[in-house]
Structure 1
Amino acid sequence: MSDHPNVQLMEKVYASFGAGDVETAGTYWHEDSVHHYPGRNPLSGEHVGIKDSTAFANKMWELTNGNLHMEVKEIGASDNHAFAILHTRYERKGLVLEMPFINVARIVDGKIKEFWTYPNDVYAVDEFWNA
C-alpha cells in the first residue's frame, strides 16, 4: 500500500466495490460527483451524484448476477488525480467479458469528484451489455 492518500482512497473504493459493498464504495465519492462510462449500452453516459453512481454500480452487479470480478494491477496518484489499471471479468447470459480497464479519478478534498472508465475494447463492452 502506498502512503499517498489518493492511492489509499482508490484501494478502499476497489476493496468495497469488489466485495459488492456499493454503499461503502459510494461514501468515497462527492455528493455531486460525475462518473463517465463510455459506449452505447444501457450503462453508458454520465452518472451524476452519489445516487446515480451507486445505482450504476448496483446495476452492474444485478446484470451480472454477482459474476463481476476486478483485479487491481496497479494504482497511482498525484495530489489531484488517481488511476487504476484493472483486469476485469464480467459474466452474464452465458457471455464473458474479460479485458483490461483503466479508471481515472479526479480527487477533491479526499473524495472522488469525477471518474472516467476506459475499457480496452469499448465495442466488446457494448456488445456484452447490449446482449
Structure 2
Amino acid sequence: MAEHPHATLVREAYDAFLRVDLDALRGLMTADVTHHVPGSHALSGDFKGQAAVIGMYRRLFQETGGSFRAELRHVFVDGRGHAVALHHITAEREGRRHRVDGCLVLRIVGDRITDIDECVDDVDKENEFWG
C-alpha cells in the first residue's frame, strides 16, 4: 500500500530541512504558514509567513554552527489534513550538546503545510539550551 500523500509531504519537508534546502522547504508551505515554538527563549514564539519561518530555521542553523539536525522517526496522519511527525533533535551550541525527542503537529491544506505546532518533552531544557 502506498504512503499517504501527507506523510510523503512531511518526509519531503524533513529531507529539505536536513539538506538546508530552504527554497525547497518554502515550496512545501503555504505563503501564510505559521510555526509555533514553545518556550521563553529567543527562538520561541509564533513565526507567521514563509519569510519569518524560514528566517527562524536559518537562525537555528546559525546559532548551532550548522549542527542542528532533526532526524525524522515516524509520521502519523489522519487523512483529513493533520500529521504528527516524531523526531530526534541533536545540536551543539556554546560548547553544550542538545539531544531531545519531540514532535511537530502539522496542518496541511491541499498539498502544502499551513501550520506547525512544535512540542517538546522538556520546555525548561529547551529554554536553557537556547537561552
Q: Give the TM-score category using the shorter length.
A: over 0.9
Aligned equivalents of 1:65, 1:72: Cα separation in 2:
21
Q: Which residue of 1 aligns with 2:84?
A: 83
Matches within 5 A, 1:1-131: 3-79=3-79, 80-130=81-131
Q: Which deviates further from its counterpart, 1-10 or 105-114?
A: 1-10
Residue 21 of structure 1 and its aligned partner are, at CA, apart by: 1.4
Deviations 1:18-57 (A, max 9, x none): 1111221121110011110010001111100000000010
Counterpart AA for 1:63: E
Aligned equivalents of 2:28, 2:37: Cα separation in 1:
18
Deviations 1:4-23 (A, max 9, x none): 00000000000010111122
Counterpart AA for 1:30: T
Counterpart AA for 2:119: Y
Consecutive unaligned residues in structure 1, runs of 5 or more? none
Counterpart AA for 1:43: L
SS at match of 2:65: coil
Q: Percent identity among equivalent residues?
A: 28
Given that residues 2 and 8 in structure 1 are in contact (C-alpha distance below 8 angstroms), is that contact kept between their aligned partners in structure 2? no
TM-score, L = length of structure 1: 0.95
TM-score, L = length of structure 2: 0.95
